[in-house]
Amino acid sequence: MFIMNRKVHTIDATDKILGRLATEVAVLLRGKHKALFDPATDCGDAVEIENVDKMQVTGNKMEDKLYRHHTGYKGHLKEETLAHLWERKGPREVLKRAVWNMLPKNRTRKHVIQRLLFKK
> Helix or strand or coil: residue 84?
helix
Q: How far is CA 23 from CA 16, 18, 80, 83, 99, in A?
A: 12, 9, 22, 21, 7
How far apart, in whole angstroms, are the C-alpha atoms of residue 82 and residue 64?
8
pLDDT by residue for the chain (120 residues), tens only, comes to: 566 789 999 999 999 999 999 999 999 999 999 998 999 889 999 999 999 999 999 999 999 999 999 999 999 999 999 999 999 999 999 999 999 999 999 999 999 999 999 997
Q: 40 burial class (0-12, 13-18, 19+ CB within 10 angstroms)?
A: exposed
Q: Where are the alpha helices (DSSP H) in the chain?
A: 18-30, 61-64, 82-88, 91-102, 109-113
What the chain holds in terms of domains, given with CATH numbers, is 8-57+92-119 (3.90.1180.10)
Q: d(Cα 83, Cα 93) in Å, to the nearest integer?
A: 12
CB atoms within 10 A of CB 95: 21
Would you state the pLDDT for residue 120? 75
Look at residue 5 in the predicted model and tell me its pLDDT: 87
Q: What is the pLDDT of residue 1?
A: 53
CB atoms within 10 A of CB 55: 20
Residue 116 CB-density burial (10 A; 0-12 exposed, 13-18 middle, 19+ buried)? buried
